[in-house]
Amino acid sequence: MSKNVTVYTTNNCKFCAMVKQYFDTKGVAYDVVNVEEHPERQKEVLELSGMLSVPVTNVVDENGSSKVIVGYNIAELNAAVAA
């Protein structure tokens, strides 16, 4: 099942790099939104997660159902990819 994955990041965020590396390892394609380079999109992070913090990952399945993962959380990333 294909999923749309978006990872919200900043320039120097190691945990963001880890999330991207996780998806690279799994062979899962993803879009990156760098909210440091595009501060106008920071509100998306707050709307999705309720937090002003990255990484935030939004995994949307074919039915449009969204799963939001805050931080680098392997268990939640695994569940979101597998579901």
In the list 5, 7, 30, 49, the residue contacting another protein (rule: CB under 8 A) is 49
Q: Note whether 72 binds another protein by CB under 8 A.
A: yes
Confirm or reject binding of residue 6 to another protein (CB under 8 A).
Answer: no
Nearer to another protein, 4 or 42 (CB): 42
Q: Where are the alpha helices (DSSP H) in 27-83?
A: 42-49, 74-82
Contact between 63 and another protein per CB under 8 A: no
Quick one: tokens of 42?
A: 């920071």
Any bridge partners for residue 70, and if so which?
56
**Residue among 1, 62, 63, 75 that touches another protein (CB under 8 A):** 75
Please name the helix (run of DSSP H) or strand (run of DSSP E) that holds residue 58, with its range, or none.
strand 56-60
Tokens of 66: 């969204």
Helices (H) and strands (E) in the chain, counts: 3, 4
Name the residues that contact another protein, by CB under 8 A: 10-18, 22, 25, 35-36, 39, 42, 45, 49-55, 70, 72, 74-75
